[in-house]
Amino acid sequence: PLMKFTSCLLLMLATSALHATEIVAHRGASGTAPENTVAAFKLAWEQGADACELDLYLTADGQIAVLHDKDTKRTTGVPMLVAEAKLAALRELDAGTWKDAKYAGEKIPTLAEALATLPVGKQRFFLEIKCGPEVVPVLAKELEAWKPRAAQLCIIAFNEAVAVESKKAM
């Protein structure tokens, strides 16, 4: 009986160790596709990522845009501050060509567009809030529909006020 128990315990430990490591696609499959785009998230899921990290900013018209930088220059070639731009203006920019011509026309996605790529199951999104706590009420409202799948979402932030407000709101 002890040998059987030990074998079972070793098997359980080995199995849990195999599943303990998660592969998180930073800004989606950003090594291949343009970061923080629908194409990058879809590719990450196709490649078997356990999770994707994405970045969130609030636009001038109170919408959430998925973008790493506070401006659009690096990924679109057009200098525009996200906090001072309306979402429609941001969506007119080409966020794909800088990475590869085959991604020409790829848009800066909304949070809803990014989340729509998330498969039902165990995969997750890490939602990194890059701006201040002003985004939290908008984010809480957008995530309301995701309550049944809340275990697939994780909010991360470097700003303590953002973390505190997120915890209160959600």
Q: Is 68 a catalytic residue?
A: yes
Question: What crossing angle do the helices spanning 136-143 and 160-169 adopt, rounded to 10°?
Answer: 40
Residue 110 pairs with which residues in a beta bridge?
Answer: 65
Pick the closest to residue 30 from 63, 12, 54 (CA basis): 54
Name the active-site residue from 38, 43, 64, 68: 68
Give dist(CA 165, CA 53) in Å, integer: 20
- Spot the catalytic one: 26, 99, 107, 130: 26
3-state secondary structure of 64: strand
What sections of the chain are H helices per DSSP? 2-18, 38-46, 73-76, 87-91, 111-115, 136-143, 160-169
Supply the residues annotated as catalytic.
26, 68
